[in-house]
């Protein structure tokens, strides 16, 4: 696509100097944005690999947690299991923050080592079975895995949005702004060169005409 000339710019030497400065600044800005884009893409690639590993770990916990819950329900009775779950200790709160990656705020979840302050199961041991203890442990691990996956997914979403925005700015500079500035600078240079040629022609014509007039005197 042919670059558009900025017709609103006056074809003067002062404007040409301004355009040339804008070209230098735009090229520097493009270089910085491209470096930022490359760094974010590398970060995104690493986060996707981490996310895939965490998601795989999460699925492993899913495959063990739900069968463990089924065994606990069958050994104790589902009604008893439900009643016991409603009286168990609550899990502690999970803190959420943000951190900075290449100028973009991304979510950060403080994933604890365990979900309860006490190492005890949080429910009475009377009338329970070892299957319940196993199910509790499996689901706590599953919950922690979900939190890690959620954090990684949040980072990926945030980075993806910033990458799209930065790529649009890179494309605008590379394919629109800088070509337009270069085309405008070329137009002004051609215009000024044409003025110089016309001025030179007028001077030669005037000199020639003056010389001819003197010969006829």
Does 9 fall in a domain?
no
Render pLDDT for 85-95 as a digit per residue (tens, 0 to 9).
766 666 677 88
Does 193 fall in a domain?
yes
Which CA distances in Å does 29 have to 4, 23, 90, 131, 170?
20, 10, 52, 62, 9
Residue 109 has φ and ψ, to the nearest 5°, of: -110, 125
Does 217 fall in a domain?
no
Does 149 fall in a domain?
yes
In CATH, what number is assigned to the domain containing residue 98? 1.10.287.3240
Q: What per-residue confidence (pLDDT) applies to 151?
A: 94
Render pLDDT for 128-150 as a digit per residue (tens, 0 to 9).
778 888 888 898 899 999 999 99
Does 215 fall in a domain?
no
Does 37 fall in a domain?
yes
Residue 209 has pLDDT above 70, yes or no: no
Does 5 fall in a domain?
no
Could you tell me the pTM of the whole model? 0.74
Domain with 54, as residue range(s), is 14-210
Please give the tally of structural domains in the chain: 1
Does 8 fall in a domain?
no
N-terminal to C-terminal alpha carbon distance within the chain: 61
* Cα–Cα–Cα angle for 31, 35, 37, rounded to 5 degrees: 115
State the number of CA atoms in the 13 A half-sphere of 42 facing the CB.
8
- Give the sign of the dihedral formed by CA 143, CA 146, CA 152, CA 154: negative
Predicted confidence band at 102 (pLDDT cuts at 50, 70, 90)? confident
């Amino acid at each position: 696509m042919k670059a558009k000339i900025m017709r609103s710019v006056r074809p003067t030497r002062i404007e040409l100097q301004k355009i040339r400065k804008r070209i230098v600044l735009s090229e520097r800005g493009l270089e910085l944005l491209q470096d930022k884009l490359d760094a974010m893409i590398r970060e995104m690639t690493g986060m996707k690999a981490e996310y895939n590993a965490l998601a795989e770990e999460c699925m492993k916990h899913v495959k063990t947690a739900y069968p463990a819950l089924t065994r606990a329900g069958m050994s104790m009775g589902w009604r008893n299991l439900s009643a016991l779950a409603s009286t168990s200790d609550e899990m502690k709160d999970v803190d959420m923050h943000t951190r900075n990656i290449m100028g973009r705020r991304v979510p950060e979840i403080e994933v604890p080592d365990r979900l309860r302050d006490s190492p005890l199961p949080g429910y009475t041991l009377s009338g329970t079975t070892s299957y319940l203890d196993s199910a509790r442990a499996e689901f706590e691990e599953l919950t922690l895995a979900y939190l890690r996956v959620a954090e990684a997914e949040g980072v990926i979403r945030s980075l993806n949005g910033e990458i799209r925005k930065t790529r649009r700015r890179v494309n605008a500079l590379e394919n629109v702004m800088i070509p337009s500035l270069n085309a405008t600078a070329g137009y002004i240079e051609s215009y000024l060169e044409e003025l110089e040629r016309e001025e030179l022609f007028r001077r030669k014509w005037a000199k020639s005409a003056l010389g001819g007039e003197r010969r006829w005197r």
